[in-house]
Every structure is written in C-alpha cells, then in structure tokens.
C-alpha cells in the first residue's frame, strides 16, 4: 500500500501522519515542540525533532510503502545554513530580539505596511527582524551562512539535500516579500540578503529523493521523494482555495496555537496594520486578507492546559451573569496586543465554567476578526477547535445567515499537505454544517463584550 507522510511542525507540537493514496489516515504520532533556553538565545530543538522523526519514520515504514514526505511548519521561522548545516540555532520567534536600540534600528529599516502587507509585530514575529538581529549580534556566524531556508524547506533540505524557497512562508508577515508584486521587499534588497535565498519552487514541487543516509536510517525506499512544503495555515487553506470557484467566497479559520481567519474572495474592508491584519500569500503567490490572534494559547490560559468538558448550562450561566474574559491572554500578536487580559463579573466557579468562558472568548474574538475583515459567505473551521462542539454553533449564532461548517481534519493542515502530493485529487477531509446556537442574551453579551474591550 502506497503511503505519504506529512511532517507537521506546529508551534506547540510536532506530528507525523501516514496517509494512504485515498487520503485516509493510517497512523499518526506526535511530540512536544520544545524550545531550548541554553546557548546563545532561545531556539528550537531541531536535533531532538530530527532524532524523533527518524525513529518514528522507521516504525511507520513497516505500515506502508512510503513514497513521499511533505513538510509543513509554523511561520516566522528560518534556518541559516552552510554546507555542513546550521551556523546558528533556529531562533524562537517568541524570543524578543535585543533592546530598544535594536528595535529602533530595525524600525528604520523595515518596509512600510503598504509594501509588505506585514504589520509591525512584537517579539520576532516579523522574520526580517530576526535576520537583522542575528546579523547585528552574530556577524561572524551570519557571514558564514550560505543560505537562508524557510522552516518547511529547512526540513526538506535535511531530508533530501536540495535547497529551495517557497512563497507561503516568504509571504507570512516576514517583511521580506511584496505580496502584491511577487517580489523581494526593499528590506531584502537593502540588506543584501537576496543572494542568501535559494530559488523559489512551488509548494508541490518534488525536490528530490531522500539522502542515502536518511533512507538507511529510516528504512524508507531510496527513491522516496521530498516535496518542497508549505506554511501550516496555508495548508489548511489549500483545499478550499482549490474549490473556491465552485463554492463561492468563504473564510477559512485555521485554529491551533494561532487562530487565523483567511478571507477567500470575501473581505470588504481595508487591512489595518494596528489590528494585526495582514496579507498572507497563498500557494499560488496571491495575497489573501487575513486577521489573527493567539487563540489556542489564550484558550489554555483561561481554561487550563487540560480543559474540562462543559454543558450548555455552564455557558448560559456565564452569559446571564455577564462574566466576560476581556483581551488579551497572550503576549504575542492579535488585535489587542499589549493589553493584559482580565475577567470581569463573577469569577467562574468550576473547571467546566472556565472552559465555557474560554470558548465564549474564542468565539467572540473570532467573530470580531470576521467583522473587522468584512468577511462574507460561509466560514470553515479547521484544526484544533473542531474538537470543541460548542465553538461552531456559537459562532453561527452571532450572525444571521452565516453558514459555519466544521472540518473533520483536526490538525487543520494534514489534508492540505497531503494534497501537495496528490495534486489534482478531490479526496480529503469532509466538512459538516453546524446548527446555530443562540442562547438567551448571546448577541447582547457580544455587544457588551465589544464595548468593554473597546472594540465596539
């Protein structure tokens, strides 16, 4: 049986999924994506991930004839390499690079929002800031670098030895790209970085076969091919992008550590930099209006790392007594970045109520993003929030005529990444419509929440 492996490195967890030729998941394994805080700066544990991946691929190889590996990762991350490998560890974007002088220096260099579609973001979420900081503070190591690889393509390079660039990661709030023109930004040209980026390849391009040592270490066939790869929220977007002409405008919600609303043919309002709106690039290089917040991280901050189950009465109780979680509960990004989250009204009394409050908060933040983008048409929920039975119905209950559907792809990326191998296939995960739930006082609660949050 022929199989495809999707290597999905999210900000919180990494996962390997084995999928058959019809798009059915045969097996998946996962591990925490840890950040190491020893060494020059907080960085991703690439060697730990590599050792885990090789071991797991060896086990998965016994289940199917694996012919393709597709890497997909979170954004705002890149690797500087020479012929031997990394010249510096892969910087964690939540690390704040440098001091006020560093920030001021970069602010003078970065392109305008109108050019790059990248809002000015905190920490290292603008990848250009990371590169400039590394160049300024580690000039010898930076000078040794022969190539800058976006994170999916770093893993592709480790697997097959072929270096490439790809537009969905280049065009993800990096300050490096001009989405409207499909060209390098003035930052790249001004800093002389253009020579460091390898040639662009399509996300679905086959870069080459596994390196001989990787094939030997994993037990995979020597001719197993490595696909160029894609940014994770764009993988979630891909299936809907391919069917847009048949289904009409829609907004895809990629949910996980980040909740990203991508408006396909439906945004009616201009992008506002201060609201953490941005122009992401889709797999074809076209700009897609987006807005986002760190929904999974904020949900866990309110509900706890292992949220309890709750029933309708728990949410109804919070709405009736006007208990509200007000933004924001993460330090990185979103339309309310810089504010400190708080709970107004009577404090939740049980774990179930805390989980219900986290769900109400996530729905209200999503609804605010949809409204701010001017998104119309159906809403498709992908990823982690598909497991929450209340999220979709509550979101549907906030707007007349808003059709909300929920994917059965709980990772939000697996189907899209698999489609890069099965290009042209219509198979994949299904979506199911939800029945709107509009509990008593729900829309009034939304209006009161927006007023209290300063978002009315």
DSSP per position, 284-318 = TS-EEEEEEE-HHHHHHHHH-SSPPP--HHHHHHH
Contact at 8 Å (CB) between 110 and 128? Answer: yes
Identify the pLDDT of residue 244: 63
* Measured distance CA(58)–CA(166) in Å, rounded: 28
Contact at 8 Å (CB) between 16 and 7? Answer: yes
Q: Domains of the chain by range and CATH?
A: 2-228 (3.30.420.40), 233-453 (3.30.420.40)
Q: Residue 1 has what DSSP assignment?
A: -
Identify the pLDDT of residue 99: 86
C-alpha closest to that of 18 among 69, 54, 74: 69
CA distances from 49 to 6, 55, 246, 339, 389 (A): 14, 10, 40, 34, 32
Range list of H helices, 327-454: 351-373, 391-396, 414-421, 442-453
Identify the pLDDT of residue 425: 64
* Measured distance CA(61)–CA(189) in Å, rounded: 44
Over the chain (456 residues), what is each successive 10-residue block's mean pLDDT?
Answer: 95 94 93 94 97 98 96 97 97 88 94 94 93 97 98 98 98 94 96 97 97 97 97 87 72 91 86 92 93 95 94 97 96 87 96 98 97 90 93 92 80 83 66 89 97 85
pTM of the shown model: 0.87
Q: Residue 194 has what DSSP assignment?
A: G
Which regions of 384-442 does DSSP assign to beta strands (E)? 404-407, 431-433
Identify the pLDDT of residue 249: 82
Identify the pLDDT of residue 230: 97
Contact at 8 Å (CB) between 379 and 385? Answer: no
Neighbour-count burial for 295-306, b at 16+ CB within 10 Å, e otherwise: bbbbbbbbbeee
């Amino acid at each position: 049986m022929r199989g495809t492996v999707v290597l999905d490195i999210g900000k919180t967890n990494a996962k390997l999924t084995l999928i058959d030729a019809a798009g059915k998941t045969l097996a998946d394994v996962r591990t925490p994506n840890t950040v190491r805080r020893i060494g020059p700066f907080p960085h991703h544990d690439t060697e730990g991930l590599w050792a885990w991946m090789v071991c797991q691929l060896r086990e998965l190889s016994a289940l199917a004839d694996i012919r393709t590996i597709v890497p997909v990762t979170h954004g705002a991350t890149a690797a500087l390499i020479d012929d031997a490998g990394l010249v510096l560890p892969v910087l964690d974007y939540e690390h704040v690079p440098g001091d006020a002088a560093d920030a001021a220096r970069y602010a003078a260099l970065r392109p305008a929002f109108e050019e790059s579609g990248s809002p000015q973001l905190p920490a290292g979420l603008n990848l250009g800031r990371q590169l400039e900081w590394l160049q300024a503070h580690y000039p010898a190591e930076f000078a040794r670098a022969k190539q800058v690889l976006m994170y999916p393509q770093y893993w592709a390079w480790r697997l097959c030895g072929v270096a490439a660039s790809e537009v969905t990661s280049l065009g993800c709030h990096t300050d490096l790209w001009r989405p409207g023109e499909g060209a390098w930004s003035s930052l790249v040209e001004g800093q002389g970085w253009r020579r460091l980026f390898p040639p662009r390849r399509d996300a679905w391009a086959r870069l080459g076969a596994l390196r001989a040592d990787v094939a030997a270490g994993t037990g995979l066939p020597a001719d197993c091919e490595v696909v160029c790869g894609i940014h994770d929220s764009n993988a979630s977007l891909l299936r809907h992008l391919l069917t847009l002409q048949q289904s009409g405008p829609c907004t895809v919600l990629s949910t996980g550590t980040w909740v990203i609303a991508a408006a396909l043919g439906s945004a009616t309002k201009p992008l506002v930099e201060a609201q953490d709106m941005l122009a992401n690039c889709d797999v074809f290089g076209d700009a897609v209006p987006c807005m986002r917040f760190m929904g999974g991280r904020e949900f866990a901050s309110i509900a706890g790392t292992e949220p309890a189950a709750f029933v309708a009465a728990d949410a109804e109780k919070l709405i009736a007594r006007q208990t509200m979680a007000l933004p924001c509960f993460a330090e990185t990004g979103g339309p309310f970045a810089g504010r400190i989250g708080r709970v107004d009204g009577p404090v939740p009394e049980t774990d179930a109520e805390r989980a219900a409050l986290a769900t109400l908060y996530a729905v209200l933040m999503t609804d605010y993003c949809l409204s701010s983008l001017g998104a119309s048409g159906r809403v498709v929920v992908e990823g982690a929030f598909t497991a929450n039975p209340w999220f979709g119905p509550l979101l549907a209950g906030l707007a007349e005529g808003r059709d909300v559907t929920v994917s059965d792809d709980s990772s939000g990326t697996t189907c899209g990444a698999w489609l890069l191998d099965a290009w042209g296939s219509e198979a994949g995960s299904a979506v199911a419509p939800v029945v709107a739930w509009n509990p008593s006082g729900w829309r009034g609660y939304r209006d009161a929440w927006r007023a209290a949050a300063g978002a009315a």
